[in-house]
Protein backbone atom coordinates (compact mmCIF):
# COMPACT_ATOMS: atom_id res chain seq x y z
CA UNK A 1 0.00 0.00 0.00
CA UNK A 2 1.34 3.45 -0.84
CA UNK A 3 2.12 5.47 2.27
CA UNK A 4 0.67 9.00 2.34
CA UNK A 5 3.28 11.66 3.00
CA UNK A 6 2.69 13.77 6.10
CA UNK A 7 4.08 17.25 6.67
CA UNK A 8 4.41 18.04 10.36
CA UNK A 9 4.13 21.73 11.28
CA UNK A 10 4.06 20.96 15.02
CA UNK A 11 6.25 22.80 17.54
CA UNK A 12 7.98 19.67 18.84
CA UNK A 13 8.98 16.94 19.38
CA UNK A 14 10.50 17.89 16.08
CA UNK A 15 10.33 16.23 12.76
CA UNK A 16 13.79 14.81 12.09
CA UNK A 17 15.73 15.01 8.84
CA UNK A 18 15.18 11.93 6.66
CA UNK A 19 18.80 10.80 7.06
CA UNK A 20 18.37 10.55 10.83
CA UNK A 21 15.15 8.57 10.79
CA UNK A 22 16.81 5.32 9.73
CA UNK A 23 18.66 4.97 13.08
CA UNK A 24 16.01 3.53 15.34
CA UNK A 25 17.90 2.30 18.37
CA UNK A 26 21.03 2.49 20.49
CA UNK A 27 21.76 0.84 23.80
CA UNK A 28 22.45 3.44 26.44
CA UNK A 29 25.15 1.07 27.80
CA UNK A 30 27.00 1.19 24.50
CA UNK A 31 30.76 1.38 24.97
CA UNK A 32 30.87 3.82 22.07
CA UNK A 33 28.91 6.39 24.01
CA UNK A 34 31.85 8.50 25.13
CA UNK A 35 32.89 8.86 21.48
CA UNK A 36 29.36 9.94 20.61
CA UNK A 37 29.38 12.47 23.44
CA UNK A 38 32.69 14.01 22.45
CA UNK A 39 31.91 14.08 18.72
CA UNK A 40 28.52 15.70 19.41
CA UNK A 41 30.22 18.34 21.54
CA UNK A 42 32.90 18.95 18.88
CA UNK A 43 30.28 19.37 16.18
CA UNK A 44 28.31 21.79 18.31
CA UNK A 45 31.47 23.78 19.08
CA UNK A 46 32.29 23.90 15.39
CA UNK A 47 28.80 24.86 14.20
CA UNK A 48 28.36 27.60 16.78
CA UNK A 49 32.00 28.60 16.98
CA UNK A 50 31.85 28.24 20.77
CA UNK A 51 34.81 29.94 22.47
CA UNK A 52 37.15 27.74 24.59
CA UNK A 53 36.15 29.41 27.85
CA UNK A 54 32.63 28.00 27.55
CA UNK A 55 31.53 24.60 28.84
CA UNK A 56 28.97 22.55 26.97
CA UNK A 57 26.63 20.21 28.82
CA UNK A 58 23.93 17.79 27.69
CA UNK A 59 21.40 17.57 30.48
CA UNK A 60 17.95 16.27 31.25
CA UNK A 61 14.95 18.25 32.47
CA UNK A 62 14.12 20.25 29.34
CA UNK A 63 13.82 23.99 28.97
CA UNK A 64 11.60 23.98 32.06
CA UNK A 65 14.36 22.31 34.08
CA UNK A 66 16.61 25.20 33.11
CA UNK A 67 14.00 27.70 34.30
CA UNK A 68 14.95 26.33 37.75
CA UNK A 69 18.63 25.60 37.11
CA UNK A 70 19.50 29.08 35.87
CA UNK A 71 18.44 30.97 39.01
CA UNK A 72 19.70 28.18 41.28
CA UNK A 73 23.16 28.49 39.71
CA UNK A 74 23.36 32.19 38.97
CA UNK A 75 21.17 34.24 41.25
CA UNK A 76 23.73 33.91 44.07
CA UNK A 77 26.22 35.85 41.93
CA UNK A 78 24.33 39.02 42.77
CA UNK A 79 24.65 40.28 46.33
CA UNK A 80 20.98 41.23 46.40
CA UNK A 81 19.91 37.89 44.81
CA UNK A 82 18.01 39.92 42.22
CA UNK A 83 17.79 38.92 38.56
CA UNK A 84 16.49 40.83 35.54
CA UNK A 85 13.95 38.93 33.43
CA UNK A 86 12.88 40.00 29.96
CA UNK A 87 9.42 38.51 29.68
CA UNK A 88 8.28 38.39 26.04
CA UNK A 89 5.99 35.38 26.13
CA UNK A 90 4.54 32.57 28.18
CA UNK A 91 7.83 30.64 28.43
CA UNK A 92 9.83 33.53 29.86
CA UNK A 93 6.86 34.27 32.11
CA UNK A 94 7.22 30.76 33.52
CA UNK A 95 10.99 31.20 33.85
CA UNK A 96 10.57 34.41 35.84
CA UNK A 97 7.98 32.78 38.09
CA UNK A 98 10.35 29.91 38.81
CA UNK A 99 13.25 32.29 39.57
CA UNK A 100 11.09 34.17 42.08
CA UNK A 101 11.23 31.03 44.26
CA UNK A 102 14.97 31.48 44.75
CA UNK A 103 15.54 35.23 44.72
CA UNK A 104 14.13 38.55 43.62
CA UNK A 105 12.98 39.08 40.07
CA UNK A 106 12.98 42.36 38.24
CA UNK A 107 10.74 42.27 35.15
CA UNK A 108 12.60 44.50 32.68
CA UNK A 109 9.58 45.77 30.79
CA UNK A 110 5.80 45.49 31.23
CA UNK A 111 3.74 42.97 29.31
CA UNK A 112 2.84 44.52 25.99
CA UNK A 113 -0.52 43.48 24.63
CA UNK A 114 -0.78 39.64 24.61
CA UNK A 115 3.00 39.30 24.15
CA UNK A 116 2.62 40.41 20.55
CA UNK A 117 5.07 43.31 20.92
CA UNK A 118 8.57 43.73 22.36
CA UNK A 119 9.97 47.13 23.31
CA UNK A 120 13.23 48.41 21.80
CA UNK A 121 15.86 45.80 22.74
CA UNK A 122 18.88 48.11 22.47
CA UNK A 123 18.97 48.66 26.22
CA UNK A 124 18.76 45.00 27.29
CA UNK A 125 21.29 42.79 28.96
CA UNK A 126 20.90 39.38 27.28
CA UNK A 127 22.27 37.13 29.95
CA UNK A 128 21.19 34.30 30.20
CA UNK A 129 19.11 33.37 27.13
CA UNK A 130 16.49 30.67 26.36
CA UNK A 131 17.15 29.54 22.77
CA UNK A 132 14.84 26.51 22.79
CA UNK A 133 13.06 27.71 19.67
CA UNK A 134 15.81 29.21 17.54
CA UNK A 135 18.91 27.20 18.54
CA UNK A 136 20.97 26.42 15.39
CA UNK A 137 18.37 28.03 13.17
CA UNK A 138 20.91 30.80 12.47
CA UNK A 139 24.43 31.83 13.46
CA UNK A 140 24.82 33.30 16.92
CA UNK A 141 27.75 35.01 18.63
CA UNK A 142 28.07 32.83 21.73
CA UNK A 143 30.59 35.21 23.29
CA UNK A 144 27.81 37.77 23.79
CA UNK A 145 26.05 35.44 26.23
CA UNK A 146 26.85 34.26 29.72
CA UNK A 147 24.65 31.23 29.31
CA UNK A 148 22.54 29.69 26.58
CA UNK A 149 20.16 26.80 27.01
CA UNK A 150 17.98 25.00 24.52
CA UNK A 151 15.85 21.87 24.43
CA UNK A 152 16.84 19.72 21.46
CA UNK A 153 13.36 18.86 20.34
CA UNK A 154 12.85 21.84 18.04
CA UNK A 155 15.87 22.15 15.75
CA UNK A 156 18.55 19.73 16.87
CA UNK A 157 17.04 16.36 17.65
CA UNK A 158 14.45 14.68 19.79
CA UNK A 159 13.10 15.40 23.26
CA UNK A 160 15.15 14.37 26.28
CA UNK A 161 18.34 16.40 26.03
CA UNK A 162 18.84 20.04 26.89
CA UNK A 163 22.02 21.78 25.78
CA UNK A 164 23.59 24.23 28.22
CA UNK A 165 26.48 26.42 27.09
CA UNK A 166 27.95 28.40 29.96
CA UNK A 167 30.93 30.74 30.40
CA UNK A 168 33.38 29.23 32.87
CA UNK A 169 33.43 32.16 35.30
CA UNK A 170 29.71 31.56 35.94
CA UNK A 171 30.34 28.08 37.33
CA UNK A 172 30.57 27.40 41.05
CA UNK A 173 28.03 29.88 42.37
CA UNK A 174 25.08 27.55 42.95
CA UNK A 175 22.85 28.11 45.96
CA UNK A 176 23.14 25.49 48.71
CA UNK A 177 19.70 24.18 47.95
CA UNK A 178 20.49 23.61 44.25
CA UNK A 179 19.80 19.93 43.40
CA UNK A 180 23.10 18.32 42.47
CA UNK A 181 21.91 17.22 39.01
CA UNK A 182 21.16 20.87 38.20
CA UNK A 183 24.52 22.15 39.47
CA UNK A 184 26.44 23.35 36.40
CA UNK A 185 29.84 23.02 38.05
CA UNK A 186 29.17 19.38 38.98
CA UNK A 187 27.82 18.54 35.54
CA UNK A 188 30.57 20.42 33.68
CA UNK A 189 33.34 18.85 35.79
CA UNK A 190 31.87 15.42 35.06
CA UNK A 191 31.48 16.08 31.34
CA UNK A 192 27.67 15.66 31.62
CA UNK A 193 28.21 12.20 33.12
CA UNK A 194 27.54 12.89 36.82
CA UNK A 195 24.46 10.71 36.36
CA UNK A 196 23.05 8.83 33.37
CA UNK A 197 22.79 11.30 30.52
CA UNK A 198 20.04 11.08 27.88
CA UNK A 199 22.26 8.91 25.66
CA UNK A 200 19.89 8.21 22.81
CA UNK A 201 18.84 11.84 22.49
CA UNK A 202 22.50 12.90 22.46
CA UNK A 203 23.19 10.32 19.76
CA UNK A 204 20.35 11.67 17.65
CA UNK A 205 21.56 15.22 18.26
CA UNK A 206 24.97 14.25 16.91
CA UNK A 207 23.33 12.97 13.72
CA UNK A 208 21.24 16.13 13.33
CA UNK A 209 24.32 18.32 13.86
CA UNK A 210 26.10 16.35 11.13
CA UNK A 211 23.08 16.89 8.91
CA UNK A 212 23.21 20.65 9.62
CA UNK A 213 26.93 20.68 8.85
CA UNK A 214 26.46 18.75 5.60
CA UNK A 215 23.70 21.14 4.61
CA UNK A 216 25.77 24.27 4.95
CA UNK A 217 25.79 24.98 8.71
CA UNK A 218 23.98 27.71 10.59
CA UNK A 219 24.28 30.29 7.79
CA UNK A 220 22.48 27.94 5.38
CA UNK A 221 19.83 27.18 8.01
CA UNK A 222 19.24 30.91 8.43
CA UNK A 223 18.80 31.40 4.69
CA UNK A 224 16.40 28.48 4.51
CA UNK A 225 14.40 29.61 7.54
CA UNK A 226 14.13 33.19 6.25
CA UNK A 227 12.90 31.90 2.93
CA UNK A 228 10.33 29.49 4.44
CA UNK A 229 8.88 31.99 6.90
CA UNK A 230 8.72 34.83 4.40
CA UNK A 231 6.70 32.59 2.07
CA UNK A 232 4.03 32.32 4.77
CA UNK A 233 4.24 35.92 6.03
CA UNK A 234 4.02 37.21 2.44
CA UNK A 235 0.66 35.52 1.95
CA UNK A 236 -0.59 36.84 5.27
CA UNK A 237 0.53 40.35 4.27
CA UNK A 238 -1.24 40.37 0.90
CA UNK A 239 -4.44 38.66 2.06
CA UNK A 240 -6.27 41.91 2.88
CA UNK A 241 -6.84 40.82 6.45
CA UNK A 242 -8.18 37.35 5.60
CA UNK A 243 -5.12 35.96 7.35
CA UNK A 244 -4.01 38.02 10.35
CA UNK A 245 -0.81 37.66 12.35
CA UNK A 246 -1.21 39.31 15.76
CA UNK A 247 2.55 39.76 16.30
CA UNK A 248 4.21 43.12 15.60
CA UNK A 249 6.11 42.99 12.28
CA UNK A 250 9.36 43.92 14.07
CA UNK A 251 9.29 40.91 16.37
CA UNK A 252 7.88 38.15 14.21
CA UNK A 253 9.41 34.72 14.54
CA UNK A 254 10.94 32.69 11.72
CA UNK A 255 10.34 29.52 13.69
CA UNK A 256 6.69 29.87 14.65
CA UNK A 257 4.20 31.68 12.46
CA UNK A 258 0.89 32.20 14.27
CA UNK A 259 -2.10 33.52 12.36
CA UNK A 260 -5.87 33.78 12.47
CA UNK A 261 -8.19 32.98 9.56
CA UNK A 262 -11.22 34.94 8.33
CA UNK A 263 -10.81 38.04 10.48
CA UNK A 264 -8.45 39.63 12.98
CA UNK A 265 -9.81 37.75 16.00
CA UNK A 266 -10.28 34.59 13.94
CA UNK A 267 -13.41 32.95 12.59
CA UNK A 268 -13.37 29.67 14.51
CA UNK A 269 -15.59 27.79 12.06
CA UNK A 270 -13.37 28.83 9.16
CA UNK A 271 -10.26 27.94 11.13
CA UNK A 272 -11.64 24.46 11.72
CA UNK A 273 -12.31 24.17 8.00
CA UNK A 274 -8.74 25.32 7.31
CA UNK A 275 -7.33 22.66 9.64
CA UNK A 276 -9.57 19.92 8.19
CA UNK A 277 -8.50 20.82 4.67
CA UNK A 278 -4.84 20.85 5.72
CA UNK A 279 -5.21 17.40 7.24
CA UNK A 280 -6.66 16.08 3.98
CA UNK A 281 -3.44 17.26 2.32
CA UNK A 282 -1.31 15.53 4.91
CA UNK A 283 -0.42 18.69 6.85
CA UNK A 284 -0.69 18.06 10.58
CA UNK A 285 -0.25 19.95 13.89
CA UNK A 286 -1.22 23.35 12.53
CA UNK A 287 -3.63 24.09 15.39
CA UNK A 288 -2.48 27.08 17.44
CA UNK A 289 -1.34 26.90 21.06
CA UNK A 290 -4.31 26.38 23.38
CA UNK A 291 -3.65 29.74 25.06
CA UNK A 292 -3.89 31.67 21.78
CA UNK A 293 -6.07 29.65 19.38
CA UNK A 294 -5.97 30.07 15.61
CA UNK A 295 -3.24 28.50 13.50
CA UNK A 296 0.48 28.11 14.17
CA UNK A 297 2.95 26.82 11.62
CA UNK A 298 6.22 25.75 13.25
CA UNK A 299 8.95 25.90 10.63
CA UNK A 300 11.97 24.38 12.37
CA UNK A 301 15.10 23.33 10.47
CA UNK A 302 13.76 19.98 9.28
CA UNK A 303 10.71 21.52 7.61
CA UNK A 304 11.81 21.76 3.99
CA UNK A 305 11.26 24.52 1.49
CA UNK A 306 8.85 22.19 -0.32
CA UNK A 307 6.90 21.62 2.91
CA UNK A 308 6.54 25.38 3.43
CA UNK A 309 5.63 25.76 -0.24
CA UNK A 310 2.85 23.18 0.18
CA UNK A 311 1.41 25.19 3.06
CA UNK A 312 1.72 28.45 1.11
CA UNK A 313 -0.09 26.95 -1.88
CA UNK A 314 -2.87 25.65 0.35
CA UNK A 315 -3.22 29.05 2.04
CA UNK A 316 -3.57 30.75 -1.35
CA UNK A 317 -6.22 28.29 -2.50
CA UNK A 318 -8.16 28.55 0.76
CA UNK A 319 -8.05 32.32 0.48
CA UNK A 320 -9.44 32.25 -3.07
CA UNK A 321 -12.24 29.92 -2.07
CA UNK A 322 -13.34 31.73 1.12
CA UNK A 323 -12.50 35.40 0.75
Q: In the complex, which residues of this chain contact ligand PLP (CB under 6 A)?
A: 11-12, 62-64, 91, 130, 132-133, 151
CB of 151 to ligand PLP, least distance (A): 4
State the Cα–Cα distance between residues 72 and 173, nearest whole angstrom. Answer: 9
**Pick 130 or 318: Cβ nearer ligand PLP:** 130
- CA–CA distance, 218 with 193 (Å, rounded to integer): 28
CB 225 to ligand PLP: min, Å: 15
Estimate to the nearest angstrom the gap between the alpha carbon of 247 and the chain centroid: 18
Q: Rounded to an integer, what distance in angstroms lies between the CA atom of residue 65 and that of residue 48?
A: 23
Please state the closest distance from residue 283 (CB atom) to ligand PLP, in A: 20
At residue 99's C-alpha, the angle toward residues 97 and 100, to 5°, is 65
Residues in the chain: 323
Burial of 1 (0-12, 13-18, 19+ CB in 10 A): exposed
Q: Whose CA is closest to 252, among 296, 291, 303? A: 296
Q: How many other CB atoms are there within 10 angstroms of residue 42's CB atom? A: 13
Q: Is the separation of the CB atoms in 66 and 169 below 8 Å?
A: no
Measured from the CB of residue 63, what is the shortest distance to ligand PLP in angstroms?
A: 3
Using Cβ positions, the residue closest to ligand PLP within the complex turns out to be 62
Task: Please identify, using beta-carbon distances, which residue of 94 and 213 lies nearer to ligand PLP.
Answer: 94
d(CA 94, CA 66): 11
Nearer to ligand PLP, 64 or 304 (CB): 64
CA-based nearest residue to 137, from 253, 7, 287:
253
Residues with catalytic function: 91, 130, 154
3-state SS, residue 129: strand
Distance of closest approach, residue 148 Cβ to ligand PLP, in angstroms: 12
Between CA 30 and CA 199 the distance in angstroms is: 9
Cβ closest to ligand PLP, residue 4 vs residue 290: 290
CB of 59 to ligand PLP, least distance (A): 11
Q: Is the dihedral of CA 268, 273, 278, 284 positive or negative?
A: positive
Smaller CB separation from ligand PLP, 75 or 95? 95
Taking the least distance from each CB to ligand PLP, the nearer of 62 and 277 is 62
Chain centroid offset of residue 200 CA: 19
Amino acid sequence: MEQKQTINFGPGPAKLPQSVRSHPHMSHRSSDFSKILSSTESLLRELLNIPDNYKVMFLQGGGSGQFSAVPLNLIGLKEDNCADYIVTGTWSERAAKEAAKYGKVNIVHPKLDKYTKIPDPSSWTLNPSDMSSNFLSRPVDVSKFGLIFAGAQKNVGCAGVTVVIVREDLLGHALNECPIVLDYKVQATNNSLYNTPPCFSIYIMGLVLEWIKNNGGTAAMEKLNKHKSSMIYDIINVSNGFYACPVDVACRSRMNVPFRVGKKEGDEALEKKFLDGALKRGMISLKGHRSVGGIRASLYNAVTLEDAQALATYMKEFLKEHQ
